[in-house]
Structure 1
């Protein structure tokens, strides 16, 4: 028995030497995707933005990488894919499609997009604003609460700034920050890297310390299901990050859709239940001047509805990739004519921020912002993210521009 154990132990010791002797080679200049699990080498990205995928599926008949194309079967049971040209800088969702079955890549972290858990590959921007730096860090807390409107338990993520627990007598302004269609309350935490962005801005003394609330933007009456964003019609309507491949045309026509069903009860729920719950649970400054809301895509729609119809509760607004506040040819009549009343608007709004990517048909947003400014409306800010479409890099950049302007 002892002899057998010694032989088995000797064999285990020899395994790393055998693995090293057959060390895998990688495309020159490439590194593992930053969203890979620890130690996983594929997919890979090089400095030019080329991507390399490798999947082990020896019994599959066909394997694809979503939004990219078919993979090539190799003799050893692996399938490979090399991008025909560099991909666009930023964060891109993808799935593996094995014999028509779509799934997240088991070698990467998973992110909630397209109403399901999917994978992501990142073409690095090469800037530090959204990276973890050696600065004081805030906390992200999970807050559960009961909703009378939906008759269900809900949960939101709440960012509290550095020193929140230590400075127990200090109160803070609040930003309500919403995700887009097909995503959820985890979006800004993980895909959006909001805590890194805000931590770094606070450390640079460019931002006021604040609380940030990120809730799930779907809320329906009991017994009704929410709209899902994993079908072609809904995806085309939103033209979201989950459905814009790196090489696809950036301007997607939007078919008709039941807007009321998509937005559901959430705008009312935020005002009637979430805001009071946050004010009761955290040390907030519960005044309109210290309360703001922002969101991307569907979240921008939520933001317009909530803020423009509750100006007694919010004084600042941020709409990222959400168009203007309405048709520009109707600007004088929108929201009880507030855009036609500079005196009232300038008194009510501390910040009216609109942003878009340069590759997602920015004219509509830019024209609305210019029309507002032409009417003498102040505190109107337009930001255009260069070279990006309806995707997370647009929204990270937008948040980075928006936060320093809040609560000043």
Structure 2
């Protein structure tokens, strides 16, 4: 009975919290994906993990972005250029494709990757902790391999010795 009351209390507390509601305003801080073809501006990714694609298809009747098993409709401008965004995606590499009048095709703006038995487009959703794993110019020490005779095992052994910078 105590557990039921606790769950009911926590549920009421969380439902009433305004901080848990998602904002319907999309962040307009889109940047080209690091997996784009050289010189291509699209696809783009924003800080929320949304993917924005753009393709020129003036004769198409409809175009969709197909990512994460969900299709998102794109809108066409007066020049025949289709643009649209996805919902936020999970961090890491994502396969996607464009659907033009029913035909699934790779996005010419992204590099192509082989997976699921076919070539397709890919986009990288940056991780929130990507800086931790990034290469940095920091002072390095040295690692030396030493071979020595062990009195305990009566055989030659090897060890690695790390010496810090300086």
Aligned to 1:119: 121
Taking structure 2 as the reference length, what is the TM-score of the superposition? 0.58
Distance 1:29 1:127 in 2: 17
Distance 1:108 1:33 in 2: 8
Could you tell me which of 87, 90, 103 is aligned with 1:88? 90
Distance 2:104 2:53 in 1: 16
Following superposition, the deviation at residue 105 of structure 1 comes to 0.9
Aligned to 1:48: 48
In structure 2, do the counterparts of structure 1 residues 122 and 68 end up closer, same or farther at CA, with 3 Å as the change threshold?
A: farther
In structure 2, do the counterparts of structure 1 residues 130 and 59 end up closer, same or farther at CA, with 3 Å as the change threshold?
A: farther
Following superposition, the deviation at residue 94 of structure 1 comes to 0.4
In structure 2, do the counterparts of structure 1 residues 132 and 116 end up closer, same or farther at CA, with 3 Å as the change threshold?
A: farther
Unaligned runs of 5+ in 1: 1-26, 136-204, 206-408
Unaligned runs of 5+ in 2: 1-26, 139-161
Aligned to 1:98: 100
1:60 aligns with 2:60: yes
RMSD: 2.3
- Written as runs of structure 1 = structure 2, the 5 A alignment for 1:153-302 is none
Aligned to 1:109: 111
Q: Contact conserved, 2:33 with 2:44, CA < 8 A, in 1?
A: yes
What SS is found at the alignment partner of 1:120?
strand
Taking structure 1 as the reference length, what is the TM-score of the superposition? 0.25
Distance 2:103 2:90 in 1: 26
Distance 2:52 2:118 in 1: 24
* Higher normalized contact order (CA 8 Å, seq sep 6+, divided by chain length): 2
Following superposition, the deviation at residue 129 of structure 1 comes to 6.4
Q: Deviations over 1:182-230 (max 9, x none)?
A: xxxxxxxxxxxxxxxxxxxxxxx8xxxxxxxxxxxxxxxxxxxxxxxxx
More strand by share: 2
Q: Contact conserved, 2:72 with 2:85, CA < 8 A, in 1?
A: no
What SS is found at the alignment partner of 2:130?
coil
In structure 2, do the counterparts of structure 1 residues 29 and 90 end up closer, same or farther at CA, with 3 Å as the change threshold?
A: same
Post-superposition, which runs of at least 4 consecutive aligned residues in structure 1 deviate over 6 A? none
Aligned to 2:73: 70
Following superposition, the deviation at residue 90 of structure 1 comes to 1.6
Distance 1:117 1:30 in 2: 25
More helix by share: 1
Distance 1:109 1:132 in 2: 23
